[in-house]
């Protein structure tokens, strides 16, 4: 059997042996004053409330969503309309994808060069993410040719026997369901700020929305290794579906709170663009993934994004951030990560 795991250990050990000098300030900022709380009281919201005949019940459910977005920037939802069967089928496809030989994943034959692993820009162990991911634009999920090269590889077909259309159909159905849910939640959140119906919906664009399939291999080195380094998401809103392994932590004040997985629940979090658009009413909260010593972990995130030329401006004045386009924001983030090893994010756009 060909190796499917990326050489994470080799790269991590190289960073341990030769940690580059990093400014003391950046280190201190990230380590000081942080401690862990074992179990978080993260809001759990039953979305059946939105379908109630009783208008007061519907309002109460919307209010819970908006309050959680402002107090936590994160919440879990149940009765979200995505069946457990679809979640199971998608997980099965995800596992199969990651089981492909590593060589094949990096060579670009698999899902159009969408594969990444570790952190190429890392110059020290605390900038390294012990994980691999497929980053799949929504528009490409529906394209017939997308899986072409993947399935034309005889070598791979000998290793795993696949149903070509099955894979694409599951991913299409899953992406459509996540997209529908993300737009519904974004609409509730934007209407709560008094915006016109459809205003945010008009900004969001299928061509920039994407799915990120994450796999966190077990890591025996230390439970302190990051599966995914602390970050905020650079989108409007993210919906995450995770397995039962756990490892996701989010920042609440100065504490890291562990998110306890709930079977078939989905996690929702506010991204940077919604924080800017809402003038800090909703919070884009830092989160990270810690590795597990014994068990690999899988998750899938759906990112709701606007088109690159969309102007992100606060819904009210005085605005905390200067106006920027999504394209400009992404460019700035990428440049900062390249230069400093870290994402600086919204702070760059403070007025
Ligand atoms: O895997 C997780 O729990 C979090 C993933 C995440 O934060 C991301 O993909 O941006
Ligand atoms: Fe994230």
The alpha carbon of 162 and the centre of ligand 2 are apart by a number of angstroms equal to: 30
- pTM reported for the whole predicted model: 0.90
If you take atom 6 of ligand 1, which residue's CA is the nearest one? Answer: 301
Query: How far apart (Å, rounded) are the C-alpha atoms in residues 344 and 348?
Result: 7
Contacts of 124 (CB under 8 A, 6+ apart): 15, 19, 20, 22, 341
Q: Are 70 and 281 in contact (CB under 8 A)?
A: yes
Q: Are 262 and 39 in contact (CB under 8 A)?
A: no
Q: What is the pLDDT of residues 159-213, one digit of tens each?
A: 343 345 567 789 999 999 999 999 999 999 999 998 877 788 778 887 899 999 9
List all residues whose CB is within 6 A of at least one atom of ligand 1: 212, 214, 228, 233, 240, 242, 248, 287, 289, 299, 301
If you take atom 10 of ligand 1, which residue's CA is the nearest one? Answer: 233
Q: What is the pLDDT of residues 57-83, one digit of tens each?
A: 999 999 999 999 999 999 999 999 999
Local structure of residue 313 (DSSP, 8 states): -
Parallel/antiparallel/unpaired status of strands 248-252 and 287-290: antiparallel
The alpha carbon of 339 and the centre of ligand 2 are apart by a number of angstroms equal to: 21
Mutational test site, ligand 1, from 248, 262, 268, 273, max ligand atoms within 8 Å of CB: 248
Query: How far apart (Å, rounded) are the C-alpha atoms in residues 170 and 211?
Result: 13
Mutational test site, ligand 1, from 40, 129, 240, max ligand atoms within 8 Å of CB: 240
Per-residue pLDDT tens, the chain, 351 aa: give them.
789 999 999 999 999 887 654 433 333 333 433 455 544 589 999 999 999 999 999 999 999 999 999 999 999 999 999 999 999 999 999 998 899 899 888 887 667 678 999 998 888 899 999 999 999 888 877 665 445 445 444 344 433 433 455 677 899 999 999 999 999 999 999 999 988 777 887 788 878 999 999 999 999 999 999 999 999 999 999 999 999 999 999 999 999 999 999 999 999 999 999 999 999 999 999 999 999 999 999 999 999 999 999 999 999 999 999 999 999 999 999 999 888 888 999 999 999
Work out the burial of residue 99: count CB atoms within 10 Å of its CB; fewer than 13 is exposed, 13-18 middle, 19 or more buried: middle
* Cβ neighbours around 158 below 10 Å, total: 8
Mutational test site, ligand 1, from 289, 296, 298, 333, max ligand atoms within 8 Å of CB: 289
How far CA 187 is from CA of 77, 308, 326, in Å, comes to: 16, 20, 19
């Amino acid at each position: 059997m060909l190796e499917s795991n990326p050489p994470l250990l080799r790269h991590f050990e190289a960073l341990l042996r030769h940690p580059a000098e990093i400014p003391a300030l950046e280190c201190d900022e990230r380590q000081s004053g942080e401690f862990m709380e074992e179990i978080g009281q993260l809001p759990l919201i039953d979305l059946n409330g939105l379908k109630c005949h009783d208008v007061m019940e519907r309002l109460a459910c919307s209010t819970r969503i908006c309050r959680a977005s402002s107090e936590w920037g994160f919440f879990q939802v149940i009765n979200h309309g995505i069946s457990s069967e679809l979640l199971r089928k998608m997980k099965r496809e995800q596992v199969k994808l990651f089981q492909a030989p590593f060589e094949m994943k990096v060579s670009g034959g698999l899902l159009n060069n969408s594969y990444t692993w570790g952190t190429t820009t890392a110059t020290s162990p605390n900038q390294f993410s012990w994980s691999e991911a497929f980053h799949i634009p929504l528009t490409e999920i529906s394209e017939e040719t997308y899986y072409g090269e993947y399935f034309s590889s005889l070598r791979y077909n000998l290793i795993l026997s696949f149903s070509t259309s099955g894979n694409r159909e599951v991913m299409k159905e899953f992406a459509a369901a996540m997209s529908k849910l993300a737009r519904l939640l974004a609409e509730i959140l934007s209407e709560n700020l008094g915006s016109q119906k459809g205003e945010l919906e008009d900004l969001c664009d299928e061509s920039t929305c994407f799915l990120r399939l994450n796999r966190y291999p077990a890591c025996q080195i230390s439970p302190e290794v990051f599966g995914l380094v602390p970050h905020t998401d650079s989108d409007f809103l993210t919906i995450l579906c995770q397995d039962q392994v756990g490892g996701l932590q989010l920042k609440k004040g100065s504490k890291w709170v562990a998110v306890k997985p709930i079977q078939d629940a989905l996690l929702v979090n506010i991204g940077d663009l919604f924080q800017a658009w809402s003038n800090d009413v909703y919070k884009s909260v830092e989160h990270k993934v810690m590795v597990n010593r014994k068990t690999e972990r899988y998750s899938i995130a759906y990112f709701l994004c606007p088109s690159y030329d969309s102007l992100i401006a606060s819904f009210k004045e005085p605005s905390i951030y200067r106006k920027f386009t999504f394209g400009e924001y992404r460019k700035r983030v990428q440049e900062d990560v390249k230069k400093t090893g870290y994402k600086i994010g919204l702070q760059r756009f403070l007025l």
